[in-house]
Amino acid sequence: MNKTNFALIDCNNFYVSCERMFRPDLWQKPVAVLSNNDGCIVARSNELKNLGVVMAAPYFKQKEILDKIGCVIFSSNYTLYNDISNRVMAIIATFFDKIEIYSIDEAFVELPQWSAEEMQEVCMELKNTVWKWLNIPISIGVGPTKTLAKLANEKAKKDGRKDNLYNGYYRVEKNDDLESILATVEIRDVWGIGRKYAKKLTENGIYTAWDFVRADSAWVKKNFSVMGARTQKELTGQTYYGLEEKASRQGIASTRSFGRPVTALKDLMEAVSSYTTIAAQKLRKDGLETNCLSVFLMTNRFKINFVYANLDVKLVQATNSTHVLATEALKLVKKIYKPGLNYAKAGVFLTNLHSQDEVAYSLFESENRDLDKEKRAMTALDTINKKFGRDALKLLSNGIAKPWQMKQTQVSPKITTSWQELMTADS
């Protein structure tokens, strides 16, 4: 008999909670965090949700009402959010041996074969520890499958917001009255059911998770593939998805919208060089290398004569060197660039990724490149930037003034990662 239980640990309103860490005056007040270039609302405090402000609403359309209710607005501060995420995950790792970091604010863990009381006790201890050390509230959902754990997490979070009934913890058992639980879950809210599938399911009279469980399994498999069939079984407590403790990346993307239209080739090259630097850092952090790089440039898609252009290159030798990748990316920018266009966004994609320990080296490049020297240089680069802050040491091609940077008019300080932005006490 399978007694495995999974827990999904999710940070509540994560971006907002990060902004509140060093601003206790913001607790119990409406707070919103905006997307790149201060475009849309991407995170809302519970107070803002309760006032009916919707997710992804354009900021300019909501500004008047947000000002009226006294909402505090922040531009996205991804440096801060990534650092706090790493700290949360490090705490989780001290409680559980098997962990899958699912996103910046979510992690699945596999629980030992504990009793119900032990599971709740340890999960509540974790919840209290994260709150005590970081002031980040979390919700924990436990279930015999990852799909049910995700569902339990949503119940702990939503019901807890109303009356603190579950205190941020909820557990679903295989022998529970699943009908009473699943009948309250809309099909679009089931983990693994995307918007496209949800639309098709509702068109066929399937509106809730319970409707989905009761649907003919052969019909589900035929219309929604093996993945849909497995999701259906997982909702009944049959485990199909285990932890991916070292999830393999299919690719790495580094893209940004510009703070203003960019026309000069020099500015585009600086931007792409900076984005390539970020992507290369992610490669090295994950112990990966790539031999396929793609660059795109685009104008504003909402204006007439929209232009999107991209090129890619396959490298003879796989690498994670910032210098090598940036050099190739800049060559592509020069080929793509068209004078007279107002570019609004650019990006870099790295694909065909492999573990740096598994990459076979080319015989044809060994004479032209000192691979060991490149690795030492990148290790030194990462060490210096980790100690003194991001971009303490960088390629000259990344630029200095960076007039193309995305607009962040209300960004908070990078308190945990920059010496220059540390909080100070007034004398």
Q: What is the pLDDT of residues 339-379, one digit of tens each?
A: 999 998 898 988 888 887 665 555 555 444 566 777 787 77
Q: How many whole angstroms separate alpha carbon 210 and alpha carbon 207? A: 8
Residues 215, 206: contact at Cβ < 8 Å? yes
Lowest mean pLDDT: which of 33-37, 238-242, 351-355? 351-355
Tokens for 348, please give them.
């870099």
Tokens for 304, please give them.
């007439």
Q: How many whole angstroms separate alpha carbon 92 and alpha carbon 135? A: 15
Tokens for 210, please give them.
């319970």
Residue with token string 């009279």: 205
> Which CATH number among 1.10.10, 3.40.50, 1.10.150, 3.30.360 corresponds to the domain 187-247?
1.10.150
Q: How far apart are the first and last CA of the chain?
A: 64
CATH code reported for the domain at 1-176: 3.30.70.270
Check: pTM over 0.85? Answer yes or no.
no
May I ask the CATH architecture of the domain 251-398?
A: 2-Layer Sandwich (3.30)
Q: What is the CB neighbour count within 10 angstroms for residue 257? A: 17
Please report the pLDDT score of residue 408 as a whole number.
Answer: 67
pLDDT in tens, 169-206: 999 887 777 888 898 889 998 988 888 888 999 999 99
Domain boundaries, the chain: 1-176, 187-247, 251-398
